[in-house]
Chains A and B, each alone.
Chain A
């Protein structure tokens, strides 16, 4: 147990953060009980099927020992929960789980990797009631995880700000969507060439994407990624969104419980895609904001850090199958130089790791002085059969509702296996036609769309960063993507994830939806992600609300400090 907190230090606040908002332990208990039941069942199956497996015996004994460890962990967790509940009942408002007991809980959570890669999600009142007899355990896990993460987003969907109809509605600076070029896209999509209804588009498609679209994607990527040679349509698989591509890749590259390394903070959507269907663990490679001798830039990724995380994971018995990189990075906004990219790829090759590179923001680099280098532009890849590139139109063309994502990989095995998911992640033929027309029109993209989009992103970025500077809020990202990564540490006292969550709730109470660092697996509390790719009037109002909340927060802090001082 102690070795756990040694290896991955958890800031003190994180523990409290895991206690549900309403202090109800019921859903947690239930979940543990369900896992317990499952674990016991498996345990007995293993015990009863021991005979006749002499070859496998060693493996078996090992498995049984692991199961026993898990069982005792789960039971301990239940006891701890009951104790902490008793404690919170006494104290009424303040949940005070002891350090030790929470430590155990975390250990328990980590121990059940195969079933559940991430810590138990935070449950609120509404999900506490959500316990179903009709769902499978994994069905409950999926539902609870999803509901707890998307509750606020759903509230936003139901009560969106509208300049005339709903001036008090939510403004969303928390979901990474580009709303700056809706006029251009709407116009483009209404043009005549977009509407085509042919028999072939209404019939069963080629499940990895119609050939005409895969050809266009190959051409498009060759051009915009500046590939040294023409990319091959046979290496393209087209699905309904990048999250589907990621989910399918996780399925075919990992078995349940195996893992990918991901530099943290990272895009929170990966947590879903790895967990909901695929049951793959994401092991964060924690990056730090502080600049030191070895850390020459904030949140700098180095091979040393990758190596350390990998070895640590292996030491704990985890099977790491790959490395996930996002370039341009989300949420920090860094762009990897060709040199560092090469180093990461070589590191991966050294350890036989697959590399999934998500380049979904590649055309959203709005600082003209910075050149983005796609991994597809490299003359030679260290391990081309283990390098898989993801791109989609959601961000770069601001059409997340279109549902389109593409995989590019040289590995034929991976192409075939991911193609099998075409059944489940297919795109309408009509939409495939529109996408093809869109990607094909390089002239419009180069002369109209990209310059306008970059200009608008730059302006929005300028506006938001000027505001942040005026508030003396430190931030990262001045070149790419739709977001800035901001540091609100000074508004937290103490600087814990619980305080971070409370601040997040305060924004929410003021009808402003942001994303907080915890969702990005950031190691340090106090970071938020702010999406600026929205129209100026909405952005202005959002920043008003933002300033109000921070002002309130500041006042509350002063009051609190005064009270503390008086108590002393």
Chain B
């Protein structure tokens, strides 16, 4: 007989062969592709129509050349997580399994969410929800999203449902926006380190690239803090892209930032927007962590709260429930833009990014329930995030490890440079592997296109028992570091050879 989903999905016995591992591997895809498992020094393959893709194209392939590139994305995503999914930690069944502090998911509030989603108002089924509907999203949901964003983003005037497009997640939104704003081969600017999966989202269909604005940790010149984004750096990156013949169409900002856990102040935001306007660039502001700012003092402001946007027609805001409501599996994301051409063009692609009518109904119910959100969910979620954050940051302090994190998001950006014998990405990868060998999965900086080797992202939004165990394993690795660094890494021979280079 059929057994329930949850366990099947992690039980290697029910599935056979490598293909299966690969897919379990990718099951945490959003993050894993970009953040944990990108091969160290392997560049993205040349894009179709642009260069030779011979490196991935045995003539025997059944796929088109872009198909081979797409498959490369999938295959490379699998590598890091193969190990994890074969040996996932479970308190009872597999206590020596791997703890996952690598994927940015909020696992602290499933109790609250399961309760809310099981309430009777969520179970409505009616014909209109089962039939084709407006591809922008059901009107009732778009109205609810507009009200929700008006309230939580503190917009000066009520936001309008016509400006809302609803899709099955932020990934889809990146894909659709890239396609309708850029031609193939054009680019978006993005400050690094950044959430690496965006590379794939804009590339798969859109064949759009990212032009990195490299930031460093050192505080020099006009910078007042590490990895500070300034207009000068934006200008420089833009010039550089132009000189390489890459046409830049826009700028992607993630606020609160992933992986820095920092936020842009309203003044900074304004400067970036003015910069974009000067160069006629679109700005995509990804605010997927906007309600996960657990330190009040941080003073986060949504771009939608600004009194006047420099270029409202080119400012496009993204939000989703994956992070703020800890439901990455629900697949709900939304675009807010005043530009009707962009909204319409994105909606034209929504036929491929639609979400079930039943889920749309549930989302509307959830977003409408202001009392529960304000009085139950957000306070509790923030308290739990804060506690988990305090725990991990105390641990790091005790170890004398520097880190960045200002009280937003699910992660701490940790500086492990002093644990690398040489400042190379190979060493970063080796250290990452050592963590994995000691059964704790982290994300390494290279996956965020960080230019300095040695940074890691620790996700702390997990249950205390798993978190403690994870940190304990981290400590073990770091304590044994000096000894390990002298010997050749013992693990290497066991690893698939293509993972290290």
Contact = CB atoms under 8 A, between A and B. Distances in A.
Interface string A480-508: 00000000000000000000000000000
Interface in A117-150: 130, 132, 134-140, 142-143, 145-147
Interface in B141-164: none
A429 B341 contact: no
B5 A212 contact: yes
Contact of A185 (B23, B130, B352): B130
Contacts of A385: 62
B358 interface: yes
A207 B29 CA distance: 7
A208 B75 CA distance: 13
Interface in B187-209: 197, 200-201, 204-205
Contact of B23 (A251, A386, A419): A419
B61 to A, nearest CB: 6
Contacts of B298: none
20 contacts: A134-B342, A140-B345, A147-B348, A203-B28, A204-B30, A213-B5, A240-B168, A244-B352, A251-B66, A321-B64, A401-B356, A402-B356, A411-B62, A416-B22, A416-B74, A419-B23, A420-B73, A421-B204, A430-B329, A430-B362
A179 B48 CA distance: 43
B181 interface: yes
Interface size class on chain B is: 35 or more
Given A139-B345, A157-B133, A190 B354 contact: no
Interface stretch (A194-202, A294-302, A303-311, A443-451): A194-202
B114 A134 contact: no
A142 B348 contact: yes
Contacts of B353: 240, 424-425
Contacts of B182: 136
Given A139-B345, A195-B123, A425-B352, A430 B130 contact: no
Interface stretch (B7-15, B226-234, B285-293): B7-15
A204 B105 contact: yes
A158 to B, nearest CB: 9
A465 interface: no
Nearest to A209: B23
Contacts of B71: 252, 413, 416-417, 420
B302 interface: no
Given A132-B345, A208-B23, A256-B49, 5 more contacts: A182-B130, A196-B4, A200-B6, A423-B172, A427-B355
Nearest to B28: A204
B314 interface: yes
B171 A424 contact: yes
A37 B362 CA distance: 47
Contacts of A424: 171-172, 175, 201, 204-205, 352-353
Interface stretch (A25-33, A431-439, A519-527): A431-439
A253 interface: yes
A207 B23 contact: yes
Interface string B438-476: 000000000000000000000000000000000000000
Q: Closest 9 CB pairs between A and B? A: A139-B180, A252-B67, A146-B348, A132-B341, A200-B6, A429-B329, A401-B357, A206-B27, A420-B74
A272 interface: yes
A134 B313 contact: yes
B407 interface: no
Nearest to B329: A429
A255 B61 CA distance: 13
A138 B180 contact: yes
Interface string A145-176: 11100000010010000000000000000010
Interface of B: 2-6, 8-9, 14-17, 19-20, 22-24, 26-31, 48-49, 61-68, 70-71, 73-75, 77, 103, 105, 107, 110, 113-114, 117-118, 122-123, 125-134, 168-169, 171-172, 175, 179-184, 186, 197, 200-201, 204-205, 249, 282, 313-314, 326-332, 339, 341-342, 344-345, 347-349, 351-359, 362
B179 A277 contact: yes
A401 B133 CA distance: 7
Contacts, number: 327
A427 B331 CA distance: 7
B132 A177 contact: yes
A463 B253 CA distance: 58
A426 interface: yes
A565 B328 CA distance: 70
Given A204-B30, A277-B205, A413 B61 contact: yes
A135 B181 contact: yes
A234 interface: yes
A464 to B, nearest CB: 20
Interface residues of A, number: 99
A547 interface: no
Interface string A388-413: 00000000001111110000000111
Contacts of B9: 200, 206, 210-212
Given A138-B183, A429-B329, A440-B2, A234 B17 contact: yes
A288 B5 CA distance: 49
A195 B362 CA distance: 12
A200 B129 contact: no
Contacts of A281: none
B5 A201 contact: yes
B5 A200 contact: yes
B15 to A, nearest CB: 6
Given A206-B27, A428-B331, A431-B356, A253 B341 contact: no
A400 B326 CA distance: 28
Contacts of A416: 19, 22, 71, 74-75
Contacts of B345: 132, 135, 139-140, 142-143
A145 B351 CA distance: 13
B65 A255 contact: yes
Nearest to A189: B125
Contacts of A201: 5-6, 329
A354 interface: yes
A459 interface: no
User: Max chain B CB contacts within 10 Å: which of A186, A419, A436, A440?
Assistant: A419
Given A195-B118, A429-B329, A423 B131 contact: no
A241 B132 CA distance: 11
B354 A241 contact: yes
Contacts of A203: 28, 105, 107, 328-329
A400 B61 CA distance: 34
Interface in A199-247: 199-208, 210-213, 215-216, 233-234, 240-241, 243-244, 247
Contacts of A413: 61-63, 71
A414 B348 contact: no
Contacts of A206: 9, 23-24, 26-27
B296 to A, nearest CB: 27
User: Max chain A CB contacts within 10 Å: which of B61, B186, B204?
Assistant: B204
A473 to B, nearest CB: 27
Interface in A95-134: 130, 132, 134
Contacts of A190: 123, 125
Nearest to B350: A146
Contact of A199 (B110, B133, B348): B110
A434 B168 CA distance: 17
A234 B354 contact: no
Contacts of A132: 341-342, 345
A276 interface: yes
